A = this chain, B = another copy of it.
Amino acid sequence: MDPEQRKHEVADGVLAEKINHLRDRLYPDPADRPGYAKLAARIREQTGKPMSATYLWELASGRKRNITQDTLATLAEFFGVPPEYFLDDVVTSRVDAQLELVTALRNQKVRSIALRAEGLSDDTLDALLVMVTEARRIERLGPSADTARREPDESG
């Protein structure tokens, strides 16, 4: 199975899967693997922050999922993962889309052009768009990643 599709269907219970996965990885031997009571006790000892066995089970079984920043930080600290580990979901794709733009804007002159284009009239922007597209053709560059995309928002 491809791991890209499952993040859509089980987007609700991902947190539970991640906690169980981290517990299994931290205690590979099922014989030595502690239950939620002992695990919560160890989290309390190691991090100094509160953590109850009941709530830990509720999280691991998917009954509760909307955790606060404090709880998230506690789990991340104990399992030795960055806090972002627990919240990478469908938003990741949107970040990727932004990264594409960030790559283009690494050039200082491209940045300047973008900044100075802000606020210009629609007609002027269209004219500039024609120019830059034509310049691309002249310099024998392939079409930009933008040409294929169609985003129907941005009221203005």
Give the B-binding residues of A (Cβ under 8 A): 2, 5, 8, 48, 65-70, 72-73, 76-77, 80, 82-84, 86-89, 91, 94-95, 98, 100-122, 124-129, 131-133, 135-136, 139, 141, 144-147, 151, 153-154, 156
> Which B residues are CB-close (under 8 A) to A151?
108
A139 x B110 contact (CB < 8 A): no
A94 to B8, CA, bound (A): 26
Q: How many copies does the complex hold?
A: 2
> Which B residues are CB-close (under 8 A) to A132?
113, 116-117, 120, 128
A131 x B131 contact (CB < 8 A): yes
User: Of B87, B106, B110, B147, which is within 8 A of A72 by CB?
Assistant: B87
A104 to B101, CA, bound (A): 12
User: Of B48, B115, B120, B147, which is within 8 A of A116 by CB?
Assistant: B147
A113 to B131, CA, bound (A): 9
> Which B residues are CB-close (under 8 A) to A69?
65-68, 72, 86-87
